[in-house]
Amino acid sequence: MSSVEAMFITLEGIDGAGKSSHVSFITHYLREHGVGVVATREPGGTPLGETLRNIVLNEKMHADTEALLVFASRREHLAEVIEPALARGEWVVCDRFTDSTYAYQCGGRGLGPSRVAPLEHFVHGHRQPDLTLLFDTPVAIARERLDRATPNPDKFEREQGEFFARVRQAYLERAAQYPERIVIVDASQPMQMIRERLHDHLNGLLAKARRGR
């Protein structure tokens, strides 16, 4: 496939929803369809971003500071990785983006969305994901997965169920607010069914890219 428009895909969900395990599947599927792909993550994705990630995930700090640091990482990521890849015609598959800030810092920590919106506008007002896959699962299932699979939990993974219930709720509200962009994938289904849903969404996006949107 030669002339397809580059697309920006983000993956979202509460810790333990199994989101990260789908990145390589999605990347592989797109490559099989002739698309060049850059897989990356937030916070992180650049050397400076990974340093900021280490701080955000491990140091106790004010919710405002958390928001400022994830947006600092995001600014660098957009400048160094995301925008150059899209300009080259490569697709970008990003594990978390700004919906995470609305979910974790606003939903989880209680920061007003009116604090985050100007940062979003400053950092990437002109750039939004073309498709966001929201891996949704009940908090109890995610907690059980985390407890089983995370021997050294970070600051967020050590949070209680109520925190993740607020994060999940904020995600679902984002999905209701942006139904054209955010699709909910039921992450408590068997893997095979999740992958079929992913195929459907990716095929839809590939068709849109071929049409030039």
Q: Going by C-beta distance under 8 Å and a sequence separation of 6 or more, which residues neighbour residue 206?
A: 4, 30, 33, 35
Rounded to a whole number of angstroms, the minimum distance from the CB of residue 50 to ligand TYD is: 11
Which of residues 20 and 188 has its CB atom nearest to ligand TYD in the complex?
20
Which of residues 15 and 136 has its CB atom nearest to ligand TYD in the complex?
15
Which of residues 11 and 86 has its CB atom nearest to ligand TYD in the complex?
11
Strand-pairing partners, residue 10, are: 94, 132
Q: Which residues bind ligand TYD (CB under 6 A)?
A: 15, 20, 42-43, 57, 70, 95-96, 100-101, 104-105, 156
Cis status of the peptide bond prior to 43, with omega within 30 of 0? yes
Rounded to a whole number of angstroms, the minimum distance from the CB of residue 18 to ligand TYD is: 9
Question: Cα(10)–Cα(97) distance, rounded to whole angstroms?
Answer: 6
Which of residues 48 and 57 has its CB atom nearest to ligand TYD in the complex?
57
| Edge-to-edge strand list for the sheet holding 37-41 | 37-41, 91-95, 8-13, 131-136, 182-186
Structure-token match 């679902």, residue found: 172
Rounded to a whole number of angstroms, the minimum distance from the CB of residue 101 to ligand TYD is: 4
Helix residue ranges per DSSP H, 81-160: 83-88, 98-100, 113-124, 139-149
Residue 27: enclosing H or E segment and its boundaries? helix 23-32
Q: Going by C-beta distance under 8 Å and a sequence separation of 6 or more, which residues neighbour residue 191?
A: none
Rounded to a whole number of angstroms, the minimum distance from the CB of residue 89 to ligand TYD is: 25
If you ran DSSP here, which 8-state letter would residue 39 be given? E
Give the 3-state secondary structure of residue 35. coil
Rounded to a whole number of angstroms, the minimum distance from the CB of residue 60 to ligand TYD is: 13
Which of residues 58 and 189 has its CB atom nearest to ligand TYD in the complex?
58
Rounded to a whole number of angstroms, the minimum distance from the CB of residue 32 to ligand TYD is: 25
